[in-house]
Amino acid sequence: MASNPQLNANGELQHLLSIEGLPREILLQILTTAESFVGVTEREVKKVPLMRGKSVFNLFFEPSTRTRTTFEIAAKRLSADVINLNIAASSQTKGESLLDTVANLSAMHADVFVVRHNSSGAPYLIARHVKPHEHVINAGDGRHAHPTQGLLDLYTIRHYKKEFGRLTVAIVGDVLHSRVARSLIHGLTTLSVPEVRVIGPQTLIPAGVAALGVRVFHDMRAGLKDCDVVVMLRLQNERMNGPLLPSAQEFFKNYGLTADKLALARPDAIVMHPGPMNRGVEIDSPVADGPHSVILPQVTFGIAVRMAVMSIVAGN
């Protein structure tokens, strides 16, 4: 607690690096603030003046159009100035170190760095070296964490299910390589969800995941029984024909979400997916487009959640 790198001396959110280690009150503060921003995004003028004059630098060391765009929209709706840098394609290839890159950008008077990096821990390294008025938001680091995605999942669950205290939530698929799964598990347990399940083949469930307080299922039908929330994970293309899986078809047969498997969950279950989806691999089209799916609302909520995170950290 003494050295939580995300909190300032007053225990307020200074950087958002991971959901792990965030106190329950801060998670709830973010969700409640996001709810007010959802109201803003439904208006004709979808913009508030809160972060006028502040600069948000999107530092993407790993390409991701989608996540970068949602951060960009969020910053613009807060009236911040947004600068997008695809560093994969610039200085890093010229041999500049990560910290030199950040020091240079800091000299351009940044207030918030949104960082996506393929190395786990890169946002932590940056957070340790920025000036006190600069803030770092992790937009995905390696296999480690993707806290804003986890937060928007929590927001979506609260929106549809109102409370966390009686839910059964299943996370299905490639848990091993998923930074989304890790962030979400920490969030759900912090908010006292009584039952969190992970479902997937042995090869894609990390050893020791049970220590996070989740139940592991290798049989999807057993795992989905009576679930309130089903979170499908993306099976990354490069894994499909790798050594961990026989084939995409085989995976779909065992772990793809189809209407008949979903029927085992509760009748009012919601289906979530962080996107982008592989239809016919981890999720069947009729389910992705069906009445239980809240995949598109997740995207809308994601913007409000990122507005909340940015405005909270930049104000602390």
Interface positions with another protein (CB under 8 A): 12, 28-29, 32-33, 35-40, 43-45, 47-51, 53, 311-312, 314-316
Nearer to another protein, 38 or 99 (CB): 38
- Burial string for 54-77 (b: 16+ CB within 10 Å, else e) reads bbbbbbbbbeeeebbebbbbbbbb
Nearer to another protein, 54 or 239 (CB): 54
Nearer to another protein, 32 or 90 (CB): 32
Nearer to another protein, 79 or 189 (CB): 79
* Residues 201 and 177: beta-carbon distance below 8 Å: no
Q: Helices 179-190 and 24-41: crossing angle, nearest 10°?
A: 110
* Residues 175 and 198: beta-carbon distance below 8 Å: yes
Nearer to another protein, 38 or 125 (CB): 38
Nearer to another protein, 34 or 198 (CB): 34
* Residues 175 and 206: beta-carbon distance below 8 Å: yes
Closest listed residue to residue 34, CA positions, set 295, 316, 247, 312: 312
What's the DSSP call for residue 310?
A: H
* Residues 18 and 278: beta-carbon distance below 8 Å: no
* Residues 174 and 234: beta-carbon distance below 8 Å: yes
Least distance in Å: CB of 58 to another protein? Answer: 21
Q: Which residues contact 180 (CB under 8 A, 6 or more apart)?
A: 146, 149, 150, 153, 233, 274
The two tokens of residue 283 are 């999720």
Return left, alpha or beta for 226; rule: phi > 0 is left, psi -120 to 50 is alpha, else beta. Answer: left
* Residues 55 and 165: beta-carbon distance below 8 Å: no
Nearer to another protein, 47 or 109 (CB): 47
Least distance in Å: CB of 270 to another protein? Answer: 22
Write the DSSP assignment of 168-200 as a string of letters. Answer: EEEEES--TT-HHHHHHHHHHHHTT-SEEEEE-
Nearer to another protein, 180 or 309 (CB): 309
Least distance in Å: CB of 26 to another protein? Answer: 11
Least distance in Å: CB of 33 to another protein? Answer: 6
Nearer to another protein, 158 or 182 (CB): 158
